[in-house]
Chain A
Amino acid sequence: MGFFTDTSVCIGCKACEVACKEWNHVPEDGLVFTGMSYDNTQGLSADTWRHVAFIEQRKPLAGQVPGRDETTGAVAEGLRWLMASDVCKHCTEAACLDVCPTGALFRTEFGTVVVQEDVCNGCGYCVPACPYGVIDKRHGDGRMWKCTLCYDRLSVGTEPACAKACPTDSIQFGPLEELRQRADRRLQQMHASGVTDARLYGHDPNDGVGGDGAFFLLLDEPEVYGLPPDPVVTTRDLPAMWKLVGVAAVSLVSSIAASFLAGGSYRAGARK
């Protein structure tokens, strides 16, 4: 199970952010004015599990005819306002889960990735491991927190709070196979209408993280939304790292042995 977030119909209402905070008892994490369009939550963190990005671009949306400024006669610039609700990707190959030394992070029967808060000891390894910058440490609590894809709600047959609250169905919840088909149809529809910028992100099970459990339809490059363009789960390189660690350990021992051999024998009692 997972999310398909179609950002082309997001209206930036932040109902998902609110619903998530309410349902999951996510504490308030500072009310700051950032000047980043309507975005005051800035990014995903321990206390922001849904984050709506706002991007104002001087670029016309497909079909938009901006016209001329009446006083100067200059051609007006277009404006498109991209909004996108970001969330934990629930990667098929999840680095946070791989590196968690306590087993606090685990994969649920729904295929989602969840932290057990009664096990997490706050070692913080999952934070730099996440290629998307999702999971984070909660101040004053010490443990790591992130979206659970509303594990408690799924367990009793209800959809996640954010998807439930989304008024435009930008956030859609369901089995990934079905969502992928739906996303493909939507992408074709967008391209046919001339929105050639539209693209899917995280839908491919052959990508660097084995496909995201929460994928997106975006209208610009992923990095414009604060998403990495080609994330790869760091543990893909771990077998190579272990081999090299082994080689390095052996060379450490041999260089110490060599230096003692080269250093000559030592006779107790010898003094300078």
Chain B
Amino acid sequence: MSISEVTKDGVHNGRPPGEATTGVNVPGGPGTPDHPGADGRYQRRRRGEPTPTSYYGQPILNKPVWGAPDIPGYLFLGGLAGAGSVISAAAQLTARCRLARASKVANATAIGLSLVALVHDLGRRGRFLNMLRVFKVTSPMSVGSWLLAGFAPATMASAFCDVTGLLRPVGALATTGAAVLGPGVATYTAALISDTAVPAWHEGHRMMPFVFASSAAASAAGLGLVAAPVAETAPLKLLAGCAALGELALTKTMEERMGVVKEAYHQGKAQKLMRGSEVLLAAGAAIVLTSGRSRARRTVGGLSVLAGSALTRFGIFEAGVASAQDPKYTVGPQRERLKNRQDIAGAQPAPTQRLDATALPEAPLGGYQ
């Protein structure tokens, strides 16, 4: 270290003049693992310096620009309406009129709110119709837009005809149409979020459709338990209880299969939401399945399942956003994949990091053509 003092007269206590004959009579530096530095360590690293696994801890991915509550809210409401449309049709078929009506109205409301949330989340809301400019099977959002273009009018027509008693044949057709498209609406959103580079979403792409299907069934059944009289909700009791337990088990399995990315579900906001959803789903399922013929118990259980299902969607959403913002979730699994590939490719020795003491040639300025 130099302790030089710069004054008007010049520099005092500066470095002694040296003879800059590079490479003569000086030991080799700590350039190789064979030559540690004077303190016995090699490659010291200070806080805030780039680490081997990231660029100053900066995320590799850009943060998803989708906002809460718009997008997780849509995942929930879309699922609710999608599964609800099948329940409406089943209730209609089995002459459970009040359940059918309640479910149809709920579906229409949920999908209406969904459309508002989806348009609200756009950067250019006036251009929402551009969603129907093309049809691309490579884009789950494009597929979803077309699904919604059929599903939303069908659910609304179905509810309108039921409530007003007008145009009954149209209502029957709309109810059928909604029931046909509904399962797609409830599950395509799994592909929507899994078809990204976001680790906590993509790594779960095999389980996500089943998590979303069970969550949709649980929420729609839960809502039916709240909205319809006891006499008509016997099937929903079973459905809400089983779907909620299924959602719990599937979500856990999905997390377990994610390797290091699992952590994203067990930290911060995502953890609180996921924990809340577990408690509500388990409690809701227990209350519903033991509710006997009590309307109050069914209502409480139904609400609990409904809220638990919503929290699952918000939790998965937040885990994804968090996982995109930490480079370790991006780099870790990719490194592992590379390592596995190398292991499979055979015992090819890794290129040695030892540096030769040969000088770097002058960098050509004019390219190397």
Contact = CB atoms under 8 A, between A and B. Distances in A.
Interface of A: 8-9, 34-36, 39, 42-45, 53, 55-78, 95, 98-104, 119-125, 127-137, 141-144, 168-169, 172, 182, 185-186, 189, 193-197, 221, 223-231, 234-235, 237-238, 240-242, 244-245, 247-253, 255-257, 259-260, 262-266, 268, 270-272
B164 interface: no
A39 B50 CA distance: 12
Contact of B338 (A125, A229, A238): A229
A98 B327 contact: no
Contact of A266 (B23, B38, B95, B367): B95
B65 A70 contact: no
Nearest to A172: B367
B239 A256 contact: yes
B52 A256 contact: no
B212 A127 contact: no
A155 B66 CA distance: 34
B4 interface: no
Contacts of A102: 127, 130-131, 133-134
B334 interface: yes
B316 interface: no
B359 interface: yes
Given A103-B136, A252-B213, A65 B30 contact: no
Contacts of B353: 196-197
B64 interface: yes
B270 interface: no
B360 interface: yes
Interface stretch (B40-48, B104-112, B277-285): B40-48
18 contacts: A8-B363, A44-B62, A58-B43, A63-B360, A74-B37, A99-B141, A103-B133, A123-B131, A127-B62, A127-B64, A185-B368, A196-B351, A226-B54, A237-B194, A238-B138, A249-B183, A252-B183, A268-B97
B206 interface: yes
Nearest to A4: B367
Contact of B198 (A65, A77, A100, A128): A128
B234 A263 contact: yes
B29 A121 contact: no
A104 B142 CA distance: 12
Given A230-B337, A237-B205, A253-B86, A65 B26 contact: yes
Interface string B180-224: 000110111011001111100110011011101100110001000
A215 B127 CA distance: 35
A242 B192 CA distance: 10
- Scoring A36, A144, A189, A253 by chain B CB atoms within 10 A of each residue's CB, the highest score goes to A253
Contacts, number: 361
Contact of B231 (A59, A100, A119, A270): A270
A39 B331 CA distance: 22
B213 A248 contact: yes
Nearest to A8: B363
| 10 interchain residue pairs of minimum CB distance | A122-B123, A142-B123, A263-B235, A226-B55, A194-B356, A74-B38, A121-B127, A248-B209, A66-B29, A249-B183
Given A241-B205, A245-B188, 15 more contacts: A63-B355, A71-B1, A103-B133, A127-B62, A128-B197, A131-B197, A182-B367, A223-B54, A226-B58, A241-B208, A249-B213, A250-B183, A252-B187, A256-B87, A266-B96
A111 B364 CA distance: 29
B202 A234 contact: yes
Interface residues of B, number: 128
B38 to A, nearest CB: 3
Contact of A137 (B1, B65, B239): B65
B336 to A, nearest CB: 9
Contacts of B212: 248
Contact of B29 (A67, A128, A129, A143): A67
Contact of A55 (B18, B37, B55): B55
A252 B221 CA distance: 12
Interface string B48-62: 111011111011111
B94 A101 contact: no
A42 B50 CA distance: 13
A227 B90 CA distance: 51
Contact of B359 (A42, A45, A101, A193): A193
B286 to A, nearest CB: 18
B138 A63 contact: no
Contacts of B66: 124, 128
Interface in B133-161: 133-134, 136-142, 145
A77 to B, nearest CB: 6
A49 to B, nearest CB: 13
Nearest to B45: A58
Nearest to A144: B123
